[in-house]
Amino acid sequence: MVEAQYREALDLAVRAAHEKHNHITEERYKEIFHNVGMNDREDKLTREYLSGIGIEFGEWDGKALRHWDFPKEEGKHLEFYLDELLELPDLSEEELLEAKKRAIEEDDAEAISLLTNHYLKSVVDIAMLYRYQAVPAEDLIGEGNIGMMTAVRALSTLDDPDEADSFVGKFIMDAMDRAIYEDTELREKQESLFPEEQEEQ
């Protein structure tokens, strides 16, 4: 098995699961790893790794998480930040649609500001999907906020307001994925899946 090909497949599987609220179907798993050439032991280790970072096999039931349940060791600073977020007023569906239209059609500064505040909660929702990773939630949220703000400022490149949520969500996930990939502890955890290959290099 080629390690680079395996790593690429593993990253794809993790991202696919995050996009489905930390769920991956058996069919999608097999599709991703089809050409990797894993033996039974490697397949078992891969499944254990995915389970260890909070990914479940099967279809997502469609129920989003109702609360932000980060580990207690994340600290008081994150707790205060989440409390402040909960105090932000929510936009109605009509206000949200209007803000998206103005951001897309007019690159309107006020609409961009409204949407930035709106998507702050989305960043935390997405960070919840990554809460079993080695990177602290506070760092993930910080990186996700940068990705979100970049996306909101680029909404004028879209044609349809219905594309906004997925566009912003992709930027947020990309930013968090980069932070996780660059984390040494996670790389070492992935490398531990095949210790004998590391010894040969």
Taking each helix axis from N to C end, the angle separating 109-129 and 76-86, rounded to the nearest 10 degrees, works out to 130
Sign of the torsion angle spanned by Cα atoms 28, 54, 77, 187: negative
HSE (side-chain half, CA atoms, 13 Å) at 96: 13
pLDDT tens readout for residues 37-94: 899 999 999 999 888 888 889 998 776 554 666 766 666 788 888 889 988 888 999 9
Q: Comparing 62 with 122, which gets the higher pLDDT?
A: 122
Instruction: Name the DSSP class of 156.
Output: G
What are the Cα distances from residue 177, in Å, to 104, 116, 152, 168?
26, 20, 19, 14
What tokens appear for 23 in the block? 């769920």
For residue 198, what pLDDT is reported?
45
What pLDDT does residue 4 have?
80
Place of tokens 């790794």: 49
Residue 24, phi then psi, degrees to nearest 5: -140, 135
Is-above-0.85 flag for pTM? no
All domains of the chain, ordered by start, with CATH?
A: 3-62 (no CATH), 72-184 (1.10.1740)
Rounded to the nearest 5 percent, the helix, strand and coil shares of the chain are 70, 0, 30
Report the sign of the C-alpha dihedral through residues 131, 22, 176, 173, in that order: negative
Local structure of residue 110 (DSSP, 8 states): H
pLDDT of residue 194: 60
User: What are the pLDDT digits (tens) for 128-183?
Assistant: 888 777 788 899 999 999 999 999 999 999 999 999 999 999 999 999 988 887 76
Inter-residue contact 150 to 171 (CB < 8 Å): yes
In the 8-state DSSP scheme, what is residue 75? -
